[in-house]
Amino acid sequence: MTILSRSKEADMADAGHNSGMAEKDHRVLFFINRNEYVRLLEVKKAADAALRNHGKQVKVDLGEHGMRQIKLYEQMRTPEGEAKFKERRAADAQAAAWAGLPINTQVDLFTDFAPLDERAFAEGEEAGLRGDTLNNPHDINSEAGRQYEAGWKSGQAKLFEGIKQKTAEANTDEHISAHDADDPFADAA
């Protein structure tokens, strides 16, 4: 036997872990996996459509750059994303300077010079707006801890009011009047 000649069993073993099974069993597994693939593909298509529709709503609510802002916000929540943003921002500033666009210079664009209490309130408010549970990173007995909690409560209140307003607007938009004066068939029922 030479290296080039292989047995039928070796070829079947390379095909997959179930290659030695009877064809009828293999066919059943094929259809089980095919059906799951089709189901998941439909779920993906529905999710893609929902995401596209949400993108349209974001554009209505936040304007042309709203979705880009949302994506950037999510990217900035990780150290890797923040580093990538800073690199891109520096490269953009360099290209703008080469193009002759006047740019304000600042030693460190990303240093926050606000007092700790103000930063704690802002961080808490952001967490509340995201819908996060209250997980205060500061000592709850410190002023920063109290400010974080106050910010979180403020963010939660704003989020709740915003949701109520959007729900009310959606209900108003979808409301169909029981009697439309312009409809000649409204009384014919």
- The pLDDT tens digits for 69-102 are 999 999 999 999 999 999 999 898 888 877 777 7
pLDDT at 95: 85
31 CB neighbour count, 10 Å cutoff:
9
More confident: 39 or 183: 39
The CA-based diameter of the chain, rounded to the nearest angstrom, is 92
Per-residue pLDDT tens over the stretch 56-69 = 999 999 999 999 99
Can you give the length of the chain in residues?
189
Give the gyration radius of the chain's Cα atoms.
29
Amino acid at 158: K
pLDDT at 74: 94
Percent of the chain with pLDDT over 70: 75
pTM: 0.53
Per-residue pLDDT tens over the stretch 29-50 = 888 999 999 999 999 999 999 9
